[in-house]
Amino acid sequence: MTTIRTVAVIGAGQMGSGIAQVVAAGGYEVKLYDIASDRVTLALGEIAASLARRAARGLSTEAEAQAALQRITTVTTLAEAAKADLVIEAASEDEAVKKGVFTELTPLLGPDALLASNTSSISITRLASVTDRPERFIGLHFMKPAPTMKLVELVRGIATSASTFEAAIAFAESLGKITTESEDFPAFIVNRILVPMMNEAVYVLYEGVGDVASIDKALKLGANHPMGPLELADFMGLDVALAIMNVLYEGLADSKYRPCPLLVKYVEAGWLGKKSGRGFYDYSGETPVPTR
């Protein structure tokens, strides 16, 4: 079994930065890469702030937070990122982008390196097929926010070996996470169930059944969800939610997964949720304000 000491994270967005933080806190050396180098700098600042908040909440000591931050190195080329025992890809939810990353990365890797994707929905078998090591490739699906959420969903592609699967379980558990296993079907388990529920909430808004505040209040107080479905969609990123719906719609060829036209329009407008400052809520002020 490969001994994992150094982990590269490709993509320093919402998930890549959270994953880098969790992995560094777990005692691993981390290399963080993004296609946009300014994004990596921003991510490091976000990680430092999150580690400090968690220390202030008593979830770690100040010294542990500092040590975790010290273990993260930012890199500006895939060649530097490739010098790792495990590479976790967390780039945008777009099959062409992810395949591009793995195609470029593969010849740069050491022979024993393991590959993982944090994809929310895309076939692990198809992503693995562009590499030279589909048996050493696995879906390692962290939930947002990665430092807080307990689950890591593991997805084996058709060629993933038993030893890769075991290494992935051991790695996730070493981070204090609990794993679950899904077969390699569109959007796996969590998002197959969760994201159509959020899409339905957008239909409820689109059809005028309720406004943003009513829909979120209904699910928060009526079903004890920690966030309403529209708040959660904004938190996840509307582009990510739409990409997952499209994978379900195309992959399962069933009209019940049709993305709500209002969700499509929001993404086309660049209203991507919290990360862009506007989605179903407006985040420009102190507290989020419903937009409909």
Ligand X SMILES: CC(=O)CC(=O)SCCNC(=O)CCNC(=O)[C@H](O)C(C)(C)COP(=O)(O)OP(=O)(O)OC[C@H]1O[C@@H](n2cnc3c(N)ncnc32)[C@H](O)[C@@H]1OP(=O)(O)O
Q: Is 151 helix (H, G, I), strand (E, B) or coil?
A: strand
Question: By C-alpha distance, which of 133, 90, 93, 142 is closest to 114?
Answer: 133
Q: Residue 226, interface with ligand X (CB under 6 A)?
A: yes
Question: By C-alpha distance, which of 50, 60, 10, 54 is closest to 30?
Answer: 10
From 118, 153, 182, 199, active-site residue? 153
**Which of 7, 24, 51, 101 is the binder for ligand NDP (CB under 6 A)?**
101
Q: Residue 275, interface with ligand X (CB under 6 A)?
A: no
**Which of 4, 8, 9, 12 is the binder for ligand NDP (CB under 6 A)?**
12
- Using an 8 Å Cβ cutoff, are 90 and 64 in contact? no
Q: Residue 70, interface with ligand X (CB under 6 A)?
A: no
Please confirm whether the linkage preceding 145 is cis (ω < 30° from 0).
yes
Per-residue binding string, ligand X, 101-140, x by CB under 6 A, is -------------------x--------------------
From 117, 118, 120, 121, active-site residue? 120
The span from the CA of 65 to the CA of 29, in Å, is 14
Catalytic residue status for 225:
no
Shortest Å distance, C-beta 42 to ligand NDP: 9
Tokens 């390196």, residue? 113
Shortest Å distance, C-beta 95 to ligand X: 15
Catalytic residue status for 224:
no
Interface with ligand X (CB under 6 A), residue total: 20
The entry of ligand X, ligand NDP, none that residue 13 binds, CB within 5 to 8 Å by partner kind: ligand NDP
Catalytic residue status for 153:
yes
Cα angle vertex 278, ends 140, 11, to 5°?
30
The span from the CA of 250 to the CA of 241, in Å, is 14
Q: Residue 149, interface with ligand X (CB under 6 A)?
A: yes
The span from the CA of 85 to the CA of 7, in Å, is 6
Which residues between 186 and 215 bind ligand X (CB under 6 A)? 190-191, 194
> Identity (one letter) of the amino acid at 162?
A
Report the 10 Å Cβ neighbour count for 4. 20
**Which of 28, 235, 257, 266 is the binder for ligand X (CB under 6 A)?**
235
Q: Is 145 helix (H, G, I), strand (E, B) or coil?
A: coil
The entry of ligand X, ligand NDP, none that residue 101 binds, CB within 5 to 8 Å by partner kind: ligand NDP
**Which of 126, 144, 220, 275 is the binder for ligand X (CB under 6 A)?**
144
Per-residue binding string, ligand NDP, 29-48, x by CB under 6 A, is -----xxx--x---------
The entry of ligand X, ligand NDP, none that residue 67 binds, CB within 5 to 8 Å by partner kind: none
The entry of ligand NDP, ligand X, none that residue 123 binds, CB within 5 to 8 Å by partner kind: none
- Which residues lie below 8 Å from residue 106, measured CB to CB, with a gap of 6+? 130, 131, 132, 133
How many helical (H) and strand (E) elements, i.e. helices and strands, does the chain have?
12, 10
Task: State how beta strands 178-182 and 281-282 pair.
Answer: unpaired
Cα-based distances in Å from 238 to 107, 124, 272: 34, 22, 5
Which residues lie near ligand NDP (CB under 6 A)?
10-16, 34-36, 39, 90-93, 97, 100-101, 118-120, 142-144, 236-237, 240, 275
- Residues tagged active-site: 120, 141, 153, 191
